[in-house]
Structure 1
């Protein structure tokens, strides 16, 4: 097998979840053959039918038996038991490539299969997946974390070659760094969604409702009520994300970065009124923001001390 361009492989996908079905479709699009997939739920069966048309749906052990490349796209907590079960069932053989996509694990989780002679790889796309066809295109240009045995350059090369075939960018992540790597991504992607939804719900709770019902002009009422929170915050949050990626801590704005403790007190008062739990989250993030504003040269130490004192007095 060439490290630059692997031979065409018979691929088995376990299972046809959001990630597995998309990666199976992407591998098929570049010439590999998806020979079988596992699917149980209605959603996974639908994804298999849509993204992997004509591919037989088989039990996981049979999927592995038919494949040169076994793709295990199952949840992090399910993966260890799946590997042990497939190994005990004799589903692996020497020379197979065994790939899992779980971000929190490296290749040690594949050890039961390694005993049967497989080449172990962890390939984790740094994306969120919907399980629809557009995800296949989104892989282009994305980063995919590659983990292989530390001293096995052939395995690293095979993993990187597969990623490059998908028109993605391979990033080497050592085994010992996988847990922190995954924690960082989950913190960014998952908590970003939480922040956005909290922001939208705060606006929808009183602000946009008040705007849409408080006007005596019927034409303005209709216009205001049709403006969603997502429409209001979309440009702001998109610009904030773009600036953060481009400029780092220097992209910070707002009362914390300016040391405007009067506005900060007002924010805390209003948040405590409508949602004390959310107010506590605001305090935690504001303290972290003050730390970053100091690091970015935006907030003098004395102003940061005032911000922290304000956050504590309004706890």
Structure 2
């Protein structure tokens, strides 16, 4: 089996290295900007050797993953001497193969593998690789290799065109990062009536989990509940009046989210057209 090296030992790189090693892939070498993180990862993978430079990884691996922050991928790729018929993979969700043009010039095969998952603070990042979707991009030689990896990791894959990448990544940000923002906004409102953030999070999480479960079972449109789904103009007006006093900075976000939610409410079976149209006018002002 072909050996794999990693340049970057952050959360994504570590999860993939551990996951692939657990499934029998030989991890040959690991380098990272932070020496300690690379050495820590090597101790968890018996076959892996600490490399004191990215070039050392390139020189010892058949497949090289660049799992550094997005803004450094192209720079790292340009700084290295790649080998013909070597596989070079990056894991950015927003960027395409253009970041790896230098490696292509050396005759290397290139691809992108982005795990659609949040790895921050996960107790078991390897388990978090199972059952998730991986967004793939690559040439004819690389795509079969990446598909085999995803299959071994227990995931599903989709193949994206370069023009698809940014929309795909925006969707991921909305579903994950901005969910964190929404919870932060919600817990901030709880603090206005004396409930600290930790207790607010504990109280709201069953609601969040229930909503996510409903989305998974019935889809986003059918999962929508609440005042906009009902066309309840009085409640929304009270929300806006309260926000004016408590947190006026949240009003633009509340209105824009409301306007987007109106569109979903109109897709539901037997919508309250009159109430929803009135809500649209309230949220537009």
Same topology, TM > 0.5: yes
**For residues 121 and 54 of structure 2, what CA distance do their matches in structure 1 show?**
20
> What does 1:24-63 align with in structure 2 at a 5 Å threshold?
24-41=17-34, 44-45=37-38, 47-48=40-41, 51-52=44-45, 55-63=49-57
Q: 2:252 aligns with which of 280, 295, 305?
A: 280
- Listed as ranges, the gaps of 5+ residues in structure 1 are 1-7, 210-224
Question: Residues 186, 19 of structure 1: CA spacing in aligned structure 2 closer, same or farther, 3 A cutoff?
Answer: same
The separation in 2 between residues aligned to 1:109 and 1:52, in whole angstroms, is: 28
Structure 2 runs not aligned, ≥5 long: none
Structure-1 residue corresponding to 2:239: 267
Is residue 155 of structure 2 the alignment partner of residue 168 of structure 1? Answer: yes
Q: Residue 229 of structure 1 aligns with which residue?
A: 200
Distance 1:173 1:236 in 2: 34
The Cα of 1:131 is off from its aligned counterpart by 6.5
Structure 2 match to 1:222: none
Superposition map of 1:1-315 within 5 A: 8-41=1-34, 44-45=37-38, 47-48=40-41, 51-52=44-45, 55-86=49-80, 90=81, 92-130=82-120, 134-149=124-139, 152=140, 154-208=141-195, 228-247=199-218, 248-297=220-269, 299-313=271-285
Q: Distance in 2 between matches of 1:147 and 1:274?
A: 47
- Whether the 8 Å contact between 2:87 and 2:142 is mirrored in structure 1 is no
Moved over 6 A (4+): none
Q: Does the 8 Å contact 1:48/1:55 carry over to 2?
A: no
CA distance in 1, matches of 2:35, 2:199: 32
Distance across 1 between alignment mates of 2:240 and 2:45: 51
CA contact (8 A) 2:30 2:42 kept: no
Separation in structure 1 between the aligned mates of residue 119 and residue 186 of structure 2, nearest angstrom: 23
Q: CA RMSD in A?
A: 2.1
Q: Structure 1 residue 180: deviation in Å?
A: 1.1
CA distance in 2, matches of 1:187, 1:38: 32
Q: TM-score, normalised by structure 1?
A: 0.83
**1:112, distance to aligned residue in structure 2 (A):** 1.2
Q: TM-score scaled to structure 2, two decimals?
A: 0.92
CA separation in 1, counterparts of 2:167 and 2:40? 31
SS in 1 for 2:100: helix
* Mapped partners of 1:109, 1:229: distance in 2: 42
> Against the structure 1 CA distance between its residues 131 and 192, is the aligned structure 2 distance closer, same or farther, given a 3 Å change threshold?
closer
Structure (1 or 2) with the larger CA radius of gyration:
1
